[in-house]
Structure 1
Amino acid sequence: MEFRVLGPLQVVDGGRQLTLGGPKQRCMLATLLLNANRPVSAERLSEALWGHDQPASAAANLRSYAAGLRRAFDEAGEGERLSTDRPGYRLTVHRGELDLQLFEELLAQGREALTKADQGPAVAVLRAALAIWRGPAFDGVPSTPLVDAEILRLDELRLTATEDCVEARLASAEHAELIGELTALLAEKPLRERLWAALMLAQYRCGRTGEALETYAGARSALIEHLGLEPGRLLRDLHTRILNRDPQLDLAPSEQPGGVQTGASVWPVCQLPLDTTDFTGRDEVAAHAREVLTRTTTGVPIAVLTGLPGVGKTTLAIRLAHQLRGHYPDGQLFIHLAGGSDSPRTPSAVLAELLRTLGVGGAAIPQGVEERGALLRSRLSDRRVLLVFDDVRDEAQVRHLLPGTPGAAVIVTSRSRLATLPGTRLIDVDLLATEDARSLLEQIIGDGRLDAEPEATETVLKACARLPLAIRIVGAKLAARPGWPVSRLARRLQDEHERLSEFALGDMAIRASVELSYQGLPAAAARLFRRLGLVGNRDNPGWIAAALLDVPDAERELEVLLSANLLQIIGIDAAGQPRYRMHDLLRAYAGEQAAARESAEERESAVRRVYAGWVALAAAATRNLPLIRRPRVETDGFTEWVPEPDIVESHVDKPSAWFDTERVNLVSVVEDVTARGWCDLATRLCAAVDDGFGLNSFWDAGERVAWVVRDCGVRWGDDMAVGVATSALSRISAWRGHLDEAIVLLDESVQRFRSCGEELEYAYAVIQRSFWLGQRQVFDKAMQDVQEGLKIARIFGELGAECSGLRSLAQLHSYLDEHDQAVTSIRAAIDVARELGLPHTQADSLQGAAVFLLNAGHADEGQQAAEQAIELYREAEHRPGEAYALAILGRAYLEQGRHLLAQPPLDQSMKIFTTLGDRRGKALALVCLGRNYLAIGDVARAVPFLGRSLRMSRELGIPWLIDSAESALATIRTNSKDSSTPSHHLT
């Protein structure tokens, strides 16, 4: 939690400002903050709020204001901050939480450095202290004697801190930079003699003696006008010394024109920040970087540490620099270039700082960048120096800062992928490994708290998504609040919309870190970044970027985001295209920016184009499958948004591989679409993925898609959506052996298609139902369904439905022992399949023909049909069909009495069914294997196979398989005289 009084009064927790109430309540808070961690009596509070004119209700009002403040703290989980301390109140403020305390601590440090003539640290610390101020102290707090007195004290303290900082900067030879700043400051504060003196000295040191004397005259006029007084001794003495050109006013010898220290006093130089004691992981990347930076080379080794914001590039660079101090004994220079900020440091300013550090000062520092760079290279020549340039924006910012001769080395950290610097080795700093992420959190807060709450710990670490900055923030929060259980923070991190606000503490904030990179993006890349935050955290193909921007191609914008490490390539897909992913916390920030900068209509249109692109690609992939294409819902001609033709062709040229690659994405997309209530897109997606998932046996994925689409259809009253989804669910249930459930689902599908007037959908559904009713021996209803479906198919000329209907009709004839009619129907189905030109459909018909020919006693023809089916299934890469055809081929050999030939295809089919988890297929293969062993007289091996098949067939409810297994086992009972055969196998 942060308490801010150096500017508008604010209390900030996790990046969120607390609501502090009205003027009197804010005044009470200000009074408590000025007495932080000390009890403040109700009497004193009343006097602070109302002076001597206190209302009769003062005590009640104070209780009300205290309750209001507690409510605000409670919302941040910090209700214990304000406690009742009789007869008043106490506000608990931890070290580092109140900006006023931090300012005073830094000011004391800066002044101590000044007393030691340690100008560089003094400037840095005093600047940091002044940067805390956001405006006038206690801005917006009502005037009270206590607050007003503190405001006067703080204003004076701020001005003296400014004067101290100016003094330190003058001693650091920043006189040229100060002239403009002091002129502007004196326009506001014309009575500050130290500032007038600083301006005179800065002008004098820049060789502008006349202007320095004019400044004295201006100072004298201002003082006489406002105060009626002559300048004090400080200004009068300086005026005299300037007139006399006092040499002591000049810079120290090392800073004089041409004054360059060449002795050993400058070396070695070490500017490295403190190394972290809890550094965790990074062993491999650190070893690689050390190898790059220490190898013997004729040039200057440069290791560029690149990675997304907050990944720990600077921490790693500092660790490496400390480890390499012995290898570079002449010095280690650390320069922050602020490349990610609105005001990145210029090469010229950085060169001047480096040269001053190395003993060059005053006019000895050339004006031009080229000349300064040359002088730096000269100073570094033959020196073993390590330079660390932190937060570099681009190559141009650092190119002139590089050494020119071997012996030195450079570490660069950058959010961009700097690849054009000579001798550069790019080193990607990735997210922490899972175990290292936990280890870092343990080191910050102690492992006892994590071990006590393992589930909450996992939730916190998952929210951090292995990003070191996020882990350090939550670790610091927990370390600062030893009374907090981990579960409390875990609950706060579960709200994705508020998560980024929780990742903020002091000067550490994920939002601020990412913002630096985001603000540097070109407009189109920034728009793409924002919109990528709208589509879920998937492994996305590149065409999604084009859809989000509504352009044919967005490769340039993707490259910008990749270069800025705001997006990552995580692999290459089956189509040879890169896959992209955005870190969870970057995606949360991107979504925030989209909500803030784009209208709801713009956001919705962008997302809908993406989902329409998935429909178009899934439909194109399905068209390339070797299957009967059931219409179910119109996806052909769907043009709401379609990727460019070359993108479509490259992605779905191998449709089975495409469905395999995109399976997880497609399920996630359907979930997103249904959550938005877009039933039209959801139905099209369900229809488009059904065949692809089925062909690849992705039953779990298909089931998830179908159920969420069905629920969406029911919720929105969309019969077409429900019909398509329940049709898909019925096929999955049948494959899993739940035939009764499949028929019930298909009954609903038939009803829905009838109610919305989709006749072809209805025809496919009743034909499918006839197939399963036949297996359940409900022959009359099955025959009625197939004849109705065939009639509709022929009216519409729908060859796919006619082919399916003829196969179902052949099955029914076979069940009724009408073998000739079965063969006639299946041969008609083969003719239609050939007309369709679909290998998979022909294979299905040939497989059916093989079964019906075998049932009719035509074993040789059945064998040929099975072999042809196997060939076509393999051509279509359809493993389930291949397995069934192999089992049928084994049966054909069995009925031909060629038992040795039967064994291999039956073993192969059993292996495939086991891999696919197809219990119906396993029951078929088991009964065929058992009958084959029985035929060769190996009863001991036959009985277990037949017993397993019988149990599985009874569980699945497949009558003809039950009959086949029971008849074989009955033969064994009749003929077997082996009393040792286990009886339980025969039932």
Structure 2
Amino acid sequence: MSVPLPAGDPVVGVLGPLEVTVDGNPVDLGGPRQQVVLAALALEANRPVPVSRLLDIVYGAAPPSTSRVQVQICVSALRRLFAEHGCGDDVIATRSQGYALQVPDTQVDLRRFGDLAAQGRRFRDERRLDRAVECYRRALAQWRGPALDGLVNPLLRPAADRLDEQRISLIEDCVELELELGRHHDLIAELTALVEEHPMRERLHGQLMLALYRSQRQAEALVVYRRARRALVDELGIEPGTELQRLEQDILTGNARLDPPEPAEPPRTGPAQPAATGPLLPVPAAPRLLPTDIADFTGRAEQAEAIERHLTGTREDRTRLAVPVLVASGMAGVGKTTLAVHVAHRLSDRYVDGQLFIDLRGQTTRPVDPNRVLERFLRVLGVPGTALPETLEERAEMYRHLVSGRRILVVLDNANDEGQVLPLLPGTPSAAVLVTSRSRLAGLPGTGHVEVGLLDPHHSVELLTSVAGPERMRTEPAAAAELAELCGHLPLALRVAGARLATRPQWAVSQLVERLGNETRRLNELNHGVLGIRASISLTYDSLPEQARRLFRRLALLDFPHFSGWVAAALLDQPGTAAQDVLDDIADAHLLETTGSARGVHSQYRFHDLIRAFARERLAAEEPVVDQGPALARALGALLCLADAAHRACYGVEHRDLRSDAPRWPVPERLAEELVSEPIAWLERERLSMLAAVRQAAGAGFTELSWDLAQQAVTLYEARGYFDDWRETHTIALDAARRAGDRHGQAVLSYSFGSLFDAQRRFSESRRFLDVALDLFGSTGNDAGRAHALQHMAIIDRLGGHLEDAMARCRQALAIFQRAGDLVYSAYVLHNLAAIELQAGNPNEAHRVLTEALDLSRRGGSRRIEAQVLYRLGETHLHLDEPLSAVDAYTAALAAVEDTADPIGRAFALCGLGTALLRAGKVDRSETTLREALRAAATVGDRLCEARALLGLGEFDLARDEPRAATAYLRRALELFRDIGTPPFVSRTLDLLARAERANLPPADA
């Protein structure tokens, strides 16, 4: 009997070679990679598969940089295949973070197999053995061969092996029932083939021996035993198990227990257990203590699958794991209990001897004592009160004895710590334990873990819809999405919001959105009947030690999107290690979430929006105002201390004359060194915190902290081209400095604004700010500040063709830096002087100046300035017609900018190297390098570098006699050079363009 399948839709098969048919016609599934993607989706049919999982399956531990794009291409190709066969374009649906293969369960052989097997187990438990065997055989008929046969993929193989294990286990279960029904004659041929295919499975050997014995073939049954023993000894060096040995002995003695059972056998409630000592124990009942499953359970497919996989592994897994235990942990209100109960109900068919459940009330002031839990469990297992032992140890022993060998699922909800859980663990691997807790309970040995996080936006709206009703969500979809966002995608908050809407049919969804928009009232609004966010979070907060509660409150002072251990150290004014421990205590209680993939000192944490609102309530209620300002100043000062260190690590020098007197909280030296060992990477991680800190410092009246943080962040903004952040932080800080009358701050920020517009090649605006900076530095007597402004103005003069002005300003700046003994910035000014000499047609003088600059930059320890000097040296060698020397210099510059993670410097170095390779006759490498330079320039948004790369490509096409192509590049370059305002480059481009256009003219006699 087969399961009827609707026509016109894809039928997917994984139980054998991967196969898809439509209306009985096979679909050509394309190449191996495409098939691997489809197989991964088919194994999880109708459940989302994250892209990260697909990347792991397709590419393993070392995916190429294009891996995500390649997977997207595979998905698109599969969608086209399905569409070409008339299946529509929604067979593979895009889900949050991944994809899902959407086909009815009846169209997937794996799902049909699972459903029929589960139906068979239900009939077996009801002792309707004929119906059970019928379902088992229909389930086994779904198989066409080994799972995913012929598909070679090491990361899909374990899943295929698990399916093959399920198949052979079901065969054994089916044969067991058929033997019980007296069908031993019919099974001999099948079992003979199976023991040949699976020579290590003792149960199959035993079943064949029994079938032969009952068919009056005793001698053959004993031959099967000897073959099985020889195989086990030869292959594994072990004797057969006690069950098989006992079966052999019973066959030799003709034990009556081997006779076929009576046709009708009364239902069994479970095996009787002998008592060891004390009163006779009862035959344990099959308890069913699970709470009602949630009718509107939403999402969580990945976590549910992980829990099931851990608790119901193969027999070999069970032996290795002993009692399978899994802890599902997460923050308050995230839905741990809902998930656990739902999965427990899904597993109830497997754990036929019962399911135990208890709320351990771990986050209350009085968690449930394990002794009381054992009293309850023993009573529901049939132990009368008069037989209950007194001590915890004795009750735990009796409990383990009663559930020994039984297929029981124990759900321990809301556990406080390991000590509450350990006495409640069964002793044999036939049972399984599912624990929920706000902590990971890492002290439980051999335990699996699943982190229960927030719902994605789609499932958040789905949960709201199921609680509040579909009509309102359909009529206000934008408001529904905003409501889910305001609830922080936290299931408890979503349920409260949905319940409020359900009980107020006159409300529009947008009304509740408006009420939740005020953060100070949000926790009050998210309260309905027995449901409430504040109460849920309070239980966890109250259970924390005092030091952790203090840090939790003080973290709410900060507007940072995330924070690391050094923030905790500053807020508590304690050493880094001690503060990190306190921070981890808060994270372990799931009042903070970890974010990103960084480890160690770079680990980052963040508040969930609703928990931040709760923390701010506690801050206002419990933290003295007199302590709040200093704590905030310490955190901002620590950030500034680390930003200083990152700048030093990049440039090898400190801009002391561009700093403020704002107090730096001294981050311990070793910790600071470890944090900024890769300075640009650290600044990148703290980028959003820097922006928030500048704004918060300005608002709190910490003016110097505000502008100093802004100008130190330029180390990152300049390297990565974050011009919007540069402008925003400086606008905020400059307004604060003007309000406070801080002339030094105004001077530094005006100079930095000039640098910003210089980097954007907006020279007229840059000059305006630099003029202001010069005046302010002059009025405050800050000569070093004037020197910085002068050398930037010299760059603008040079690019504008005003070489005499540029030379004069450079010499002024150089004199100031030399008097101060500043090696690094003396080298930088010399590098600019060399550029002026080149432009003036003096390459030999430029080479002399650059030799001095290179020595100073290396003695000063600034790899970044060294890279710029090397770049200019390459340019000088080109002017001296020494292209091979230029290639060497540009190659060294490229290595230096890659060391310092400077993408703009990399674009310029590639541009110079491409031109040098062309002049050296290395044409193929030249084109590749110039095209890479153009991509790099476009990525970082540097128009000058983009124009120079276009100029180089134009020169390249002229060299290979392709004037038409050259003209296109040169015209684009000319437009950019004119827009930027760089006459020397305009002139050079016009010369090359004239050559290209002359070459485009037809011959005179044409």
- 1:562/1:860 Cα in 2 relative to 1: closer, same or farther (>3 Å)? closer
The equivalent of 1:621 in structure 2 is: 646
The equivalent of 2:301 in structure 1 is: 283
Match of 2:470 among 447, 454, 465: 447
Q: CA deviation at 1:310?
A: 0.5
Aligned counterparts of 1:917 and 1:900: Cα–Cα separation in 2: 26
The equivalent of 1:267 in structure 2 is: 285
**Deviating more after overlay: 711-720 vs 489-498:** 711-720
Match of 1:556 among 569, 581, 589: 581
Aligned counterparts of 1:358 and 1:868: Cα–Cα separation in 2: 77
Q: CA deviation at 1:440?
A: 0.8
Deviations 1:566-585 (A, max 9, x none): 23333442877432233222
Q: CA deviation at 1:679?
A: 1.7
Deviations 1:123-155 (A, max 9, x none): xxxxxxxxxxxxxxxxxxxxxxxxxxxxxxxxx
Larger radius of gyration: 1
SS in 2 for 1:461: helix
Match of 2:545 among 513, 522, 543: 522
Aligned counterparts of 2:928 and 2:399: Cα–Cα separation in 1: 79
The equivalent of 2:486 in structure 1 is: 463
**Deviating more after overlay: 611-620 vs 332-341:** 332-341
- Asked if residue 568 in structure 1 is aligned to residue 601 in structure 2, the reply is no
SS in 2 for 1:978: coil
Cα pair 2:334 2:454 within 8 Å, conserved: yes
Q: CA deviation at 1:404?
A: 3.7
Match of 2:665 among 637, 641, 645: 641
TM-score by length of 1: 0.67
Q: CA deviation at 1:838?
A: 2.6
Aligned counterparts of 1:505 and 1:460: Cα–Cα separation in 2: 16
The equivalent of 2:334 in structure 1 is: 311
- 1:782/1:277 Cα in 2 relative to 1: closer, same or farther (>3 Å)? same
Match of 2:437 among 403, 411, 414: 414
**Deviating more after overlay: 454-463 vs 415-424:** 415-424
Match of 1:598 among 620, 623, 638: 623
The equivalent of 2:770 in structure 1 is: 746
SS in 1 for 2:650: coil
Aligned counterparts of 1:830 and 1:669: Cα–Cα separation in 2: 37
Match of 2:933 among 903, 909, 915: 909
Kindly provide the amino acid, as one letter, of the partner of residue 312 in structure 1: G
Kindly provide the amino acid, as one letter, of the partner of residue 328 in structure 1: Y
The equivalent of 1:205 in structure 2 is: none
Q: CA deviation at 1:685?
A: 1.8
Aligned counterparts of 1:346 and 1:840: Cα–Cα separation in 2: 63
The equivalent of 2:760 in structure 1 is: 736
After superposition, where does 1:78-93 map in structure 2 within 5 Å? none
- 1:569/1:896 Cα in 2 relative to 1: closer, same or farther (>3 Å)? closer
Cα pair 1:626 1:876 within 8 Å, conserved: no
Match of 1:476 among 480, 484, 499: 499
The equivalent of 1:46 in structure 2 is: none
- Asked if residue 336 in structure 1 is aligned to residue 359 in structure 2, the reply is yes
Cα pair 1:332 1:387 within 8 Å, conserved: yes
Q: CA deviation at 1:598?
A: 1.2
- 1:812/1:480 Cα in 2 relative to 1: closer, same or farther (>3 Å)? same
Deviations 1:329-367 (A, max 9, x none): 443333222221122222333333334444445544343
Aligned counterparts of 1:620 and 1:759: Cα–Cα separation in 2: 24
Deviations 1:708-740 (A, max 9, x none): 322332333323333333333322322222222
After superposition, where does 1:909-948 map in structure 2 within 5 Å? 909-948=933-972
The equivalent of 2:513 in structure 1 is: 490
Cα pair 1:844 1:869 within 8 Å, conserved: yes
The equivalent of 2:19 in structure 1 is: none
Deviations 1:422-455 (A, max 9, x none): 6643332222223211211111123332233233
Deviations 1:278-328 (A, max 9, x none): 010111221222233334546443332221111111112222232233333
Kindly provide the amino acid, as one letter, of the partner of residue 648 in structure 2: R
Aligned counterparts of 1:363 and 1:544: Cα–Cα separation in 2: 58
SS in 2 for 1:418: coil
The equivalent of 2:395 in structure 1 is: 372
SS in 2 for 1:497: helix
Report the identity percentage: 34
The equivalent of 1:794 in structure 2 is: 818
**Structure 2, gaps ≥5 residues long:** 1-276
TM-score by length of 2: 0.66
Q: CA deviation at 1:381?
A: 4.6
Aligned counterparts of 2:820 and 2:443: Cα–Cα separation in 1: 65
Cα pair 2:954 2:970 within 8 Å, conserved: yes
- Asked if residue 353 in structure 1 is aligned to residue 371 in structure 2, the reply is no
After superposition, where does 1:182-261 map in structure 2 within 5 Å? none
Q: CA deviation at 1:883?
A: 3.3
Aligned counterparts of 1:480 and 1:493: Cα–Cα separation in 2: 17
Q: CA deviation at 1:946?
A: 1.0
Deviations 1:188-218 (A, max 9, x none): xxxxxxxxxxxxxxxxxxxxxxxxxxxxxxx
Kindly provide the amino acid, as one letter, of the partner of residue 616 in structure 1: C
The equivalent of 1:139 in structure 2 is: none
Aligned counterparts of 2:439 and 2:999: Cα–Cα separation in 1: 82
Match of 2:566 among 531, 543, 563: 543
Aligned counterparts of 1:919 and 1:978: Cα–Cα separation in 2: 34
Match of 2:985 among 956, 961, 967: 961
**Structure 1, gaps ≥5 residues long:** 1-257, 981-987
- 1:525/1:271 Cα in 2 relative to 1: closer, same or farther (>3 Å)? same
Match of 2:730 among 700, 706, 721: 706
Cα pair 1:387 1:409 within 8 Å, conserved: yes
- 1:627/1:890 Cα in 2 relative to 1: closer, same or farther (>3 Å)? farther
Deviations 1:816-851 (A, max 9, x none): 556666555545544543443433323323433444
Kindly provide the amino acid, as one letter, of the partner of residue 665 in structure 2: W
Aligned counterparts of 2:812 and 2:706: Cα–Cα separation in 1: 29
After superposition, where does 1:691-840 map in structure 2 within 5 Å? 691-779=715-803, 781-817=805-841, 822=846, 825-840=849-864
Cα pair 1:710 1:722 within 8 Å, conserved: yes
Aligned counterparts of 2:371 and 2:921: Cα–Cα separation in 1: 93
- Asked if residue 395 in structure 1 is aligned to residue 395 in structure 2, the reply is no
After superposition, where does 1:2-13 map in structure 2 within 5 Å? none
The equivalent of 1:582 in structure 2 is: 607
The equivalent of 2:324 in structure 1 is: 301
Cα pair 2:308 2:343 within 8 Å, conserved: yes
SS in 2 for 1:624: helix
Q: CA deviation at 1:764?
A: 0.6
The equivalent of 2:13 in structure 1 is: none
**Deviating more after overlay: 614-623 vs 445-454:** 445-454
- Asked if residue 664 in structure 1 is aligned to residue 682 in structure 2, the reply is no
Kindly provide the amino acid, as one letter, of the partner of residue 313 in structure 1: K
Deviations 1:390-443 (A, max 9, x none): 222122223333334454433322222223346643332222223211211111
SS in 2 for 1:498: helix
Aligned counterparts of 1:339 and 1:884: Cα–Cα separation in 2: 60
Q: CA deviation at 1:696?
A: 3.6
SS in 2 for 1:649: helix
Aligned counterparts of 2:302 and 2:898: Cα–Cα separation in 1: 45
Q: CA deviation at 1:888?
A: 3.4
Kindly provide the amino acid, as one letter, of the partner of residue 324 in structure 2: P
**Deviating more after overlay: 816-825 vs 730-739:** 816-825
- 1:473/1:821 Cα in 2 relative to 1: closer, same or farther (>3 Å)? same
SS in 2 for 1:343: coil
